[in-house]
Amino acid sequence: MSGPTRLAPRSRPSRARQVSRPRQVSRPRRPVARGRARRSSRGRPLARPVQGRLVRALRRARSGRRVAFILALYLLLTLGMAWRLVTVQVVAAEEYREWGTRQTQRDLQFPARRGKLYDRAGDPLAMSITAASIYVHPRALAEANVDPVEAGDRLAAAMEHPDVRISQARIQEALTSESPFSYVARQVPREVGVRVAELRLPGVGVLDEPRRTYPAGELAAPLIGFAGTDHVGLSGLELQYDEVLAGQPGLLQIERAPGGLEISAAPRVGQPPLPGTDLVLTIDRELQLTTEELLAEAVARWRAKGAAAVVMDAGTGEILALATAPNMDGPRRERTRALTDAHEPGSVNKVITFAAALEEGLIEPDSEILVPPAHQVGEKTFYDAQGDPTTPLTVRDIMARSSNIGTILIAERLGPEGLRDYLQAFGYGQPTGIGFPAESSGMLLPTTSWTETSLPTIAIGHGVSATLVQIAAAFDVIANGGEYVAPTLVRGKVDAGGRLEPAGPPQRRQVISASTARTITDMMIAVVTDEQGTGELAAVPGYDVAGKTGTAQKARVGGGYQPGAYVASFAGFAPADDPELVVAVMLDEPAGTYSGGKVAAPVFSQIMGSALSHQRVVPSSDAGELRPALPPPPPPPPPPPVEGLPAPVGEIDVPDPADPAPDPAADAPD
């Protein structure tokens, strides 16, 4: 039997097989530096695989960002170029096209056909005709090796014409100019242009261009005004309605090379002009001519410094004639006195004072007022020219005799505010609405600026000023039943079909009642018909005339009045029972006799008589013989007084010996 199993003894390592190794000396551990991988006992980094993966990941990320940035940049550049292409081709295509055109083309404006001005019957007063303008391209002339002196001689010969005034030097200057384009002459007769075109000179051409002409000559020249070479209105109605008359200018296109050198070819029309609008005026050509002739005769007869006249339709306010004399500065450069020159009206202003007092119920035509020979207001003494003793006069007599003191006594009942309100209602101190260039509104101070003597002074027509058109409009209030009608100069426009498009209705307002207007009319008739009336020479045979004379001393610039300088005037209407026409006349500084009743009234009579005959107005039933259309002129005036000698008795007022200065309140007899 076998014994117990014996375990083999534990094997032990054989010492013989062990390899001796040098004993390692333990060293103190160094702290692992931050950011440095820990090393193994053999000195190799312990985290190298992890770090490598991180580096590779970072490198891949950095490379991806570069690619994304490049792609984004490429995309932005592509979008930018695409947007630029769209902008150039679509959005701003027109702008760039125009820019390119400007580099190769030069545009010159040339005027359109300017609108015509007609009188109320359709007769032309201002119109444009086709003329020729001669131009030159000096460079083209030089490129063709044409001698400018020889070319100038040929041009001068072709341009000989009575209406062409151009020197040889001016032609040579244009042919040798440094400018790429130059006019030799503008708006010459067309036959001159034809002769120049037949020369066929290189660089020299002819362009049709409108030229302003005035078929009626100098008729109403200051009123119509004129337009310059470029068809721009420079004065008068030509200036006032320039935008309406001018139209839309055309464009003349001249080709040029990229370097700026103009190509010597005929210019072409790039944009045709649009013609201006034609206007029909209220002026009557025949009546205007007659009025101007009569006014010129009066200026010559009385050796006046100037004169003006207005003829107005009483019902519509349309101005039928507006004349100025003389035309010393050239007819078209003379100012239109009736609209631009305001003067103190003198006694014609008394009509407004009387009308206001009548309307307020302060007086009656037959009321008596005790009128003394002198009347003191503050430190000022007012006189009547007649020098009568204290006399009871009716209101009607005060008007007929043009009594200063009687008028002042009536104005004192009215008061400053009342007088000024009525003056303004009659149109003083404000524009008429015509809108004429340099038109004056006159002067009407507020009552806060009035002095102690303003009321009596203004009541008799001093210390206030108005134009002749304003005075005519004020008298039209009486003629038109108490209604103010704004004066007008334009009836309307002419449409494309040749039909008249009427202008808007004039401004209207009721100033006084119709009964007051009728009463004041009867009193104004007495001015002309009464034995002691001041307007006897204003009578028109065949018609009843209502009117008022005026004589005013001229104000001096800076204050005071000019010694011996007066404005004589007369304003009125006819027929008095059914007014058709209003006429106002003024003469500036007539020599010798200067009262309105002796100087202006006869001119009024002639103009009113001619106008009534021209308008075929039926004579008044109880009036005398009808006056001819062109009555003979009044007899010549007496010679002027010799300096230093007293004026004839009754011609001027006798001033207060204590007041040596000229006194406008002491109005001359009208």
Length of the chain: 670
- What amino acid occupies position 468? L
Token pair for 628: 């001819």
3-state SS track over 567-587: EEEEEEEECCCCCCEEEEEEE
Count CA atoms within 13 Å of residue 596 on its CB side. Answer: 33
CB-based contact 640:592 (threshold 8 Å): yes
CB-based contact 343:552 (threshold 8 Å): yes
Cα dihedral 354, 358, 364, 368, rounded to 10, equals: -40
CB-based contact 550:556 (threshold 8 Å): no
Element of type H or E holding 481: none
Peptide linkage before 111 cis (omega within 30 of 0): no
Residue 343: is it exposed, middle or buried by C-beta count within 10 angstroms (0-12/13-18/19+)? buried
Q: Nearest CA to 648 among 658, 638, 634?
A: 638
Q: Nearest CA to 465 among 339, 587, 345?
A: 345
CB-based contact 463:454 (threshold 8 Å): yes
Describe the chain by its helix, strand, coil percentages, rounded to 5. 35, 20, 45
* Beta-sheet pairing, 117-118 with 124-136: antiparallel
Which string of DSSP letters, residue by residue, matches 168-219?
HHHHHHHHT-SSSSEEEEEEE-HHHHHHHHHH--TTEEEEEEEEEE-TTTTT
User: How far apart, in Å, do the first and last CA atoms of the chain sit?
Assistant: 191
Which string of DSSP letters, residue by residue, matches 131-175?
EEEEEE-HHHHHHTT--HHHHHHHHHHHT--TT----HHHHHHHH
With b for 16 or more beta-carbon neighbours within 10 A and e for fewer, the 141-161 pattern comes to beeeebebeebbebbbebbee
Alpha helices in 366-467 (DSSP H): 395-401, 404-414, 416-425, 454-459
Q: Nearest CA to 351 among 610, 535, 537?
A: 535
Count CA atoms within 13 Å of residue 233 on its CB side. Answer: 26
Token pair for 442: 């006159």
Measured at the CA of 292, the angle between CA 287 and CA 298, to 5 degrees, comes to 130
DSSP SS3 for 249:
coil
Residue 425 falls in which region: left (phi positive, over 0), alpha (psi -120 to 50) or beta: alpha
Token pair for 199: 């020369």
Active site residues: 347
The neighbouring-strand residues paired with 321 are: 311
Q: Nearest CA to 169 among 154, 152, 190?
A: 152
User: For residues 334 and 324, what is the distance between their CA atoms, to the nearest angstrom?
Assistant: 8
Element of type H or E holding 112: none
